[in-house]
Structure 1
Amino acid sequence: MDIAPPRPLRHGIAARDADGMAVASFVLGLPGLLVLNVFLGPLAIVLATLALARGTARRGRALLGLALGAADLLVLLVVTLQDHTLSWSMPG
């Protein structure tokens, strides 16, 4: 499996948009571990993927957003398998 080399960073609006998407994926993926993971997880994954494809300078944040989005969906899967519903609450 060949991985394409990163594209050279573009300046201006496109670069800012890609960097913003990388940060947004991280910011949305983090609370998605606890709330609304059915929405925030996929959104974090899409934003991180777009940011990486557009050559973001914040590659680490995009990768964290991607990992957090995947973790959101994993948490959702585990909880759904335990109580057979898409809604869940923290025990307290």
Structure 2
Amino acid sequence: MQLTAPVTTGDESRPAARDADGMAVASFILGLLGLLVLNIFLGPIAIVLAAVSLWRGTARRGRALLGLTLGIADLAVLGIAMELSHTLSWSL
């Protein structure tokens, strides 16, 4: 039984914005990692996370845009590497 009202802070009143900020950071990190490994998987995930975080109105707009750019770059690197190696994957 709770006799008092729960204490809320300013951060708890906007959980969607906090989630959007986390998605922006995750898209940036996954886009950056995708340039090195698993770009066929990490690139599209970074693009989707960046788009959703921008749609939800993240406070980290720059990081979301970088994640979007890096996700697109992941797919571009994969396409170029596949064209040069004439295979469906690439290696260093």
Establish whether TM, by shorter chain, passes 0.5: yes
**Deviation of the 1:86 alpha carbon:** 2.5
Question: How many positions carry a matched residue from both structures?
Answer: 80
* SS of equivalent to 2:90: coil
Choose the corresponding residue for 1:35, options 26, 34, 37.
37
Q: Amino acid of the residue matched to residue 36 of structure 2?
A: L
Q: Which residue of 2 aligns with 1:13?
A: 15
- Equivalence for 2:89: 87
Deviations 1:61-90 (A, max 9, x none): 000000000000000000011112222111
Larger Rg: 2
TM-align CA RMSD:
0.9
Listed as ranges, the gaps of 5+ residues in structure 1 are 1-10
Report percent identity of matched pairs: 73
TM-score normalised by length of structure 2? 0.83
Q: Gaps spanning 5+ residues in structure 2: where?
A: 1-12
Which consecutive aligned stretches of 4+ in structure 1 deviate over 4 angstroms post-superposition? none
